[in-house]
Each structure stands twice: as structure tokens, then as C-alpha cells.
Amino acid sequence: MVDPELSQSVSGWSHDPWALQALFGETDGARLASGRRAVQKDRRTIVLCAYENFFARAGGLFQVARLLPKTLQQHGERVLVLSPFHAALATAPARPSESPGAAPSPLQPCRETGETSVRFANTRVPLKLWEHTLDGVRWVLFEAPDYFRARGGPKGKIPYDYTGPDHPQAPSRLDVDSLFASAAVPSVLAALGLTEDLVIHAQDWQLAATALTVKQALLDNVLHSASVVLSSHNPYDRVLPPGKLGLITGRVHERFWPTLRQTPRRDGTLPVRRDTFYECMLPLLDAPVATVSKSFARELTVHPVQTAFFASHLQDVFRRQGVVGVDNGLFLDANAGPFSAAAVDEARRGNVAAILREKEDKRQVLLQHFAGYLQESARGELNAGPGRSLADLPPEVPVFMMFGRMDPGQKGFDVLARAVERIEPGRAKFIFALESPGGVERWVADLAQLASERQGDVTFIPDRMTDGYFDTMAGATYCVMPSLYEPFGAATEPYVQGTPVVACATGGLLQQVRNYRHDRASATGLLYDADLSSLAPADVAAHWRELLVAADPETRQANPVYRQLVEGLTDALLEAIAIFSQRPECYGRLLANLYGQALAFSWDHAADEYRLLYDCATR
């Protein structure tokens, strides 16, 4: 079922030709409109283009690129996924020719052709085309000499990170590689014999320039009928100066790229042209911009984190192009709930004894794990008090877990650290199970210091847990998500494991976490926010900017917005402790609500809404 508000937004949307006409003129603009409308719904192929793939993963984008196409295909759509082959990563598979006598490569040369070429930077660049099948969906990976050579960071697996164990200062080529990926898409499709009835579904700024390259391919008769839509999983953007734009088009003069912006840049100068990937490419899309939750779609044009920082330069584009939210589905399998049906039914009728016993069993697995095992990289260890094993932790003492990547500009792990400092020692235990890329050494040091100062209460694992990750999530009393902003969020992951969530009231978390403070009957956790009522709106925006550019946790601590976030989280943690230790009937009801709330986020639902967007793009 499609959300009525989204349906109304999409059905009322109309193509605004201002950017196309400035770039291509009226005659070619009309040709492009014909090429868009010529896409036949019953014959179309959805081509999802993502920078990440099975062999190059960094976050939730790969999961979307895996799960959405699979579901679209189940709904009767023809689907193909295109992605670069990141050959320099430690996770890259061997090519078939490199593994004679070894285990078969998961890749094979594309059945239509194993080679093609793309025009880039005024020269022809050869491409090798590899394919594999994932969950029944065909993936084609394209490889080029001298492109997509990210080293992947300390562990060699992040396709956006050009540093590596032996190249700690390697310069980034991400913007050039992203332009190359967008340039390659039409050539790859033509080599595969796919030239008509195409809907290109680009993901994030790295593939945003397909909005341009596909249209150029239509005008050059490389493609015959196609449209482009885009999902933005995060507001990250990059500057696109004329010199780099010229790698994919000869139309680089400022007259081709008029700006809607009336406000100065951060350096005080007035823009004379659109000058970032998103600012240039979003107006060339054939549908509203999509993002990954309905709440975040609203925040992109109203929340100061976006309007004053990440997306300040895009506000006029968003207003003109439109933004819609399509909620992601579950990233984890949820074939069975975390608790027995009988225990859930009893808890909903007010008898929580059975569900609390089942949760206690999960807790004991966590306690035994951390009592007898400490990952080599961990800082600090948990115990039940000096000289006492964690296995003897009193039943009223909760265990909080935070998981995810160490992104100082988004995830708010330092907000949780400051809140922990405010909570009396011994009242709760805290597990920071994070993954730290390069460049966050000061933030790692901050959490390591917290673990040292709060021995017994805090353990910090600065890289991915190698053992017991999901058992820890299932056994935790609560998971904590103190995000500064969150396009979608991962509250549904703890729900599937049987754990409530304490989260900042932002983005997709607003939809995922049903707030105990507002509706105890259906609650799945607690939401908090910063009380900024005493600050003037202009000051709020300035303080958010200062917070987000801070070079280290210490710099943030005098910031009024930051202090209010810490206070809000501290209050929420104390309330969560009280619910667990003093109100077992309320905690049991939280547990009973988790699985049903997780199932509310469905890839079937997302597929239906994206199909509506695809229809819009070919009107």
C-alpha cells in the first residue's frame, strides 16, 4: 500500500524544464522529454546504480541495493544493478582469469560482451564487464584501468577511502571516480543491448551525474528511451568545479548551470552558477528527489542541521524539484520474532513474566560472553563491581549498547559518552561496539579515556565485533542511537533481536521508535531531543554549524546545542534505567511491541512507492 501523502505529492508533481532548457535548449529539451515519455511501463527495466556492492560495502547503501531490486523483481519488474568493480580493496574477488585451479571466482564475463569503452576526459577508456547473481538479481560490475582504485582504509574494504595500511595519506579521487561511474552507465547499458525502456535509479551523489550522462546518451542516440530518478541516503555532497565537470560534458560555461541560490556561500561570496554534484544534477532528474524516510524528507528543508549546514546550498533546489520520503525496509531477516508468540500475547494482556524470562535468557548470554571474553582491541572491561565477574551483575542493573560506525558528524557517540559521565558509577553498563575508519583518532581516544576512567562500567570496541555481535544486541537491555541526524536509522535491527531503543528524535528514528513518554501502550523505547527554546533561531543554526565542524569532542562541550543534547540523553537514560529496574510491567510491554513495529518497515511497501516514482519519471 502506498502512503497517501506520498501518492498525492508524486501525482501532483510536474516536470520543471528550467535546468534542462538552460543546459540543452528548447529543441533538445523537447527531444529529452520525448525520450522520457517513450519508456513503456510494461517493458521497462529498472537499472539501480550504486557505488557499493557485495564486494565493496560501507554501510546501509549496499543493503538497499541488495534488497530493493530483489523485491522489485518479485513485484514483476525487470531489474539490473550496475556498480563499479573496486579492484584494489582487500574484499575484491579474484577475476576468473586470476584463479586457475583455485575456488571458482564469483564473477564471470558478461554474457553479451566482456568489454566495451566509455568516453571520459576526451578519450576512450576501455571497460571490462563482470557479472554475478545475488538473491536472483543480476549485477554487472564495470572495471577500468586507473579508476576505482580506493585502498579501502585500514581494513581495505571501504570503497570511498583511498588510504590504506601502506598509503595512510593517499589523496582522494572519489569525485573523479564518481563522474567516471556516471559516464560509464550509458555505455555499459548499450553494450548489454539495453537501450530503451530504461528507468535509471541512481543512489547518492556518487551516481547523481547519471542525470546528465543519460540525457547526453539520449541526444547522441546511444540510448533511445530512458529516465532518471535518485535516492539520497545522506545529504553528503561534493564541490563540482568546471574542470571536473568537463570530464563528462563540454557544457561547462556558467550560462549552462544557472543557480537558484540567493544567499552567500559560507565564504561570503555569491554563487554565479550551480557548483556541487547535487546542485548541478538534482534539477536534471525526471522525478522528485527521493530519500530514505518520510521524516528525513521533511527535515531536509526545515531542520537547521540541513538548512544551515549539510544542505544549505540545496534549499532552493529542493523546493523547486520536490523531495519525497520512501521508508527503507528491514536490513535483517525477520522470519521469526525474538520472543515466543505465547509470551508476547501474555505481555499484551498484562502478564509479562514469560517475556521477561525469555529476555533474561538473552541477557545471560551477553553477561557470560563479556565475562569470559575480551576482544583484543577492546578498551575497558565490564564487571559487577571490583573483583566481581560480570556474570554476577545484579538483575536490576541494565546494559546499554551502542553500535554503528564512528562518524563524528552524524552518529553522536560522544553525546552518549558525555551522558555516561553524568550517570552515577555502577547504575548501568555501557558497550560501545563501533567501527572506526581512518581520521577519527581524537574521537577514538575520547572513548578510550572514558573506558579507562569508568572501568567496570564501560567497554569500547573500536572495530567491528568479531564474536557475539547479535547475541550482545539481543542481550542488551536497550540499544542507544544518539544520532545528530539520521536519514533512516537502524532501530529495527535491535527490535528484531528483542531490544528496545533509546534514540534522538530525528529523521527515520522518529518513525521507528514509538515513544514511551507519549504512548506507553505501543511504545518500543524512548525518544529525546535538545531543548533549544531559550535560543534564538539564528543562534541555533550557528551553534549547529559550530558543533558539526568541531575537530574533537572537547571543542564541542561548550556548545549550547551539544549541552542540551547531552542533557536530553542523560534524562532519557535515567528514565530507561527506572523503567527496567522499577517498572517490569512497562519494560515487558516494550518487549512485546518490538517485532510488530519492525515489520511495519517493509521492502514490499518501499517497492510499491518506488514504482510510483518510476511511473512519475516517465510521464
List Cβ<8 Å contacts ≥24 apart for 541-549. 541/304, 541/307, 541/308, 542/308, 544/304, 544/305, 544/308, 544/309, 545/308, 545/309, 547/484, 548/305, 548/309, 548/310, 548/409, 548/484
The residue extents of the domains of the chain are: 13-329+604-617, 341-600
Query: Tens digit of pLDDT for each residue in 154-183?
Result: 889 999 999 877 777 777 899 999 999 999
Cell numbers describing residue 170: 593517499
Q: What is the mean pLDDT of residues 376-381?
A: 93
Closest of 400, 422, 360 to residue 566, by C-alpha: 422
Range from 55-69, 267-281, 400-414 carrying the lowest mean pLDDT: 267-281
Interhelix angle for 4-11 vs 603-617, to 10°?
A: 10
What pLDDT score does 169 carry? Answer: 72
What pLDDT score does 437 carry? Answer: 82
3-state secondary structure 482-518: CCCCCCCCCCHHHHHHCCCEEEECCHHHHHHCCECCC
Provide the percentage of residues in the chain whose pLDDT is more than 90: 90
Q: Are 524 and 597 in contact (CB under 8 A)?
A: yes
Cell numbers describing residue 140: 554487472
Q: What is the mean pLDDT of residues 177-192?
A: 99
Closest of 490, 480, 487, 489 to residue 305, by C-alpha: 487
Q: Domain 341-600 belongs to what topology? A: Rossmann fold (3.40.50)
Q: What is the mean pLDDT of residues 210-227?
A: 99
Q: Could you tell me where the DSSP H helices lie in 518-559?
A: 537-549, 553-556
3 state DSSP class of 8: helix
- Equal CATH topology for 13-329+604-617 and 341-600: yes
Is the domain covering 13-329+604-617 a CATH 3.40.50.2000 domain? Answer: yes
Mean pLDDT of the chain: 96
Entry pTM: 0.96
What pLDDT score does 334 carry? Answer: 87
Q: What is the mean pLDDT of residues 319-333?
A: 96
How would you classify the pairing of strands 198-203 and 137-143? unpaired
Provide the percentage of residues in the chain whose pLDDT is more than 70: 99
Q: What is the mean pLDDT of residues 397-417?
A: 97
Rounded to whole angstroms, the Cα distance separating 108 from 115 reads 12
Q: Are 585 and 435 in contact (CB under 8 A)?
A: no
Range from 369-378, 481-490, 495-504, 565-574 carrying the lowest mean pLDDT: 369-378
What pLDDT score does 167 carry? Answer: 72
What pLDDT score does 438 carry? Answer: 76
Rounded to whole angstroms, the Cα distance separating 472 from 587 reads 18
pLDDT band at 101 (very low <50, low <70, confident <90, very high): low
Rounded to whole angstroms, the Cα distance separating 29 from 546 reads 43
Biggest CA pair distance of the chain: 80
Closest of 15, 83, 2, 1 to residue 322, by C-alpha: 15
What pLDDT score does 384 carry? Answer: 97
Rounded to whole angstroms, the Cα distance separating 13 from 10 reads 5
Q: What is the mean pLDDT of residues 569-591?
A: 99
What pLDDT score does 102 carry? Answer: 65
Q: What is the mean pLDDT of residues 484-500?
A: 98
Query: Tens digit of pLDDT for each residue in 4-50?
Result: 999 999 999 999 999 999 999 999 999 999 999 999 999 999 999 99
Cell numbers describing residue 548: 558539526
Query: Tens digit of pLDDT for each residue in 76-100?
Result: 999 999 999 999 999 999 998 765 6
Q: Is the dihedral of CA 279, 280, 283, 287 positive or negative?
A: negative
What pLDDT score does 100 carry? Answer: 60
Query: Tens digit of pLDDT for each residue in 540-557?
Result: 999 999 999 999 999 999
Q: Are 232 and 290 in contact (CB under 8 A)?
A: yes
